[in-house]
Structure 1
Amino acid sequence: MAAFVSKYYLSDIECKLVFYVHRVGRGVSMGSTCLLSVFQAITISPRDSMWAELKLQAPKHTGNFSILCWILNILVNIQILLYMSGKCNCKNSTKITDYGYCSGTVSSSTVQPVHYLLLSSYDVLCLGLMIWASGSMVFILLRHKQRVQHIHGTSPSPS
């Protein structure tokens, strides 16, 4: 809306809802992608690995982790419902951030860094787990390729 210079501004409730749904959706998307990556890494791990026991239990707990992801994001982003509002015509207010079609009041100097820390630590945790899962899958598939290399050779294998 801001890009098309719309004359229609969102009401307080609409602003809160748009920003809240965006933040919760972003967090749940990040958490679900992380959960899927870790689940894939556990699924393709060999039966004799240290993840063998998790391999049997992972499908049972995927739903619980998904629900936990939703609840965590709903709770962490409640601050948006408190500080977002409709368009403000304020010219000289340092405590208000203008988003074009909505505005938000800046929370206290002690609450805002804690909220940013919560949001960024969730993102860092998810990204870290996705990097670990991707690296594990590459390593597992590389080892698998080395084990089955002889199958595609032209000479008969002694084993």
Structure 2
Amino acid sequence: MSSIKNVLYFQSALGVLANMFLLFFYIFIFLGHRPKPMDLISCQLNFVHIMMLLTAGDIWIADLFESLNIENDFKCKATFYINRVMRGLSICITCHLSMVQAVTISPTNSMLAKFKHTLKKYIIYVFFYFWLFNLSFSSNQIFSAGAYINVSVTNQIKVSKYCSHFPMNNIRDLILLVTTLRDVFLVGVMLTTSTYMVIILFRHQRQCKHLHSTRHLRASPEKRATKTILLLVVFFVFMYWVDFFISSTSILLGRYDPVILTVQKFVMNAYPTITPLVQISSDHRICQQVFLKGTIFFFF
């Protein structure tokens, strides 16, 4: 198990470093230029993913709490609550990212074109709503998670070395139902916007073939950004359903098998780890800045 835990540490460390790199990069952009809506959304997503990785399972913050000799019950409630809030924000912001890009690349004669000028105006309000919604509807984790007690009559489900889930009551069942409906709705919106963007790209590709030779075609920044977001959305939806299947299986079995729990942690951390790497490789501004700084450093 130590080798598996080392893999999880490496995965989370890689994700945290990549997200921090992008977070600082976007902060420098905001200080020097007028930020674009996509930059604001990406910056928010990077911060959320850093917190997700830091609060995943018994890694990082959980170990910090243990070293500070903080009570196990508080540690469990804090890590579970923060992680669930960040997971909710991740799906909301990813959905928002796909919607904004779909509006951005929509033709001028489409119904979505009229929303292009209002995106930046209301983007801060959208972020505020996302945070308020997820902070409220993830509050059930404060009551459903707690320190593990080695007593079978509590019907608790052990999910880590120190933490467990306790039986749900009617209110927490309702909150769980609402959050599940939220996730299903947002995944549906992501699939819809992704299909729309694929159609737009396909039409644009056909038009370009009639005007130019395929050999001389170059992808525009909007097209590259659209392909990147499509890749992220598809990867997110796939990882979401894998995680959902693992969680549902564990709930039906009434326990969390250590192997299944480890696989679930790896799946949960996959999206926040892969996302910044895809963003770094696809954003030409990062490549230009790194090349420019490297060149200056080489000469001086």
TM score, norm. by length of structure 2: 0.46
* 8 Å CA contact 1:16, 1:85 repeated in 2: yes
Please state if 1:136 is matched with 2:196: yes
Hey, what does 1:157 align to over in structure 2? none
Question: Does residue 1:29 correspond to 2:56, yes or no?
Answer: no
CA distance in 1, matches of 2:176, 2:198: 33
Does the residue aligned with 1:103 lie in a helix, a strand or coil?
A: strand
Equivalent residues of 1:10, 1:87 under 8 A apart: no
How far the C-alpha of 1:113 sits from its partner, in A, is: 3.2
Q: Which amino acid aligns with 2:197?
A: M
Q: TM-score, normalised by structure 1?
A: 0.83
> Normalized per residue, which structure has more helix?
2
Structure 1: gaps (5+ residues): 155-159
Secondary structure at 2:154's aligned position in 1? Answer: coil
Q: Alignment partner for residue 146 of structure 2, among 85, 107, 113?
A: 85
Structure 1 residues 43 and 86, CA, compared in 2 at 3 Å: closer, same or farther? same
Superposition deviation, residue 153 in structure 1:
4.3
Q: 121, 130, 148: which one pairs with 1:60?
A: 121
**Residue number among 171, 177, 182 corresponding to 1:117 in the alignment:** 177
Q: Which residue of structure 2 aligns with residue 97 of structure 1?
A: 157
Which residue, 29, 32, 44 being the options, matches 2:105? 44
Say whether 1:18 aligns with 2:79: yes
The alignment-based identity, stated in percent, is 32
> Following the alignment from structure 2 to structure 1, what is the Cα–Cα distance between the partners of residues 196 and 78?
39
* Partner AA of 1:42 in structure 2: V
Give the residue type in structure 2 aligned to 1:66: F
Question: CA–CA distance in 2 between the matches of 1:133 and 1:66?
Answer: 19
- The one-letter amino acid of 1:97's match is I
Separation in structure 2 between the aligned mates of residue 131 and residue 62 of structure 1, nearest angstrom? 21
Distance 1:150 1:10 in 2: 68
If asked which structure has higher relative contact order (CA below 8 Å, sep 6+), I would say: 1
Mark the structure with the bigger radius of gyration.
Answer: 1
Aligned in 2, Cα 1:60/1:112: closer, same or farther, shift over 3 Å? same
1:52-75 per-residue CA deviation (whole Å, 9 max, x = no partner) reads: 111111122222112211111100
Letter in 2 for 1:151: L
Stretches of structure 2 lacking an aligned partner (at least 5 in a row): 6-57, 59-65, 215-300
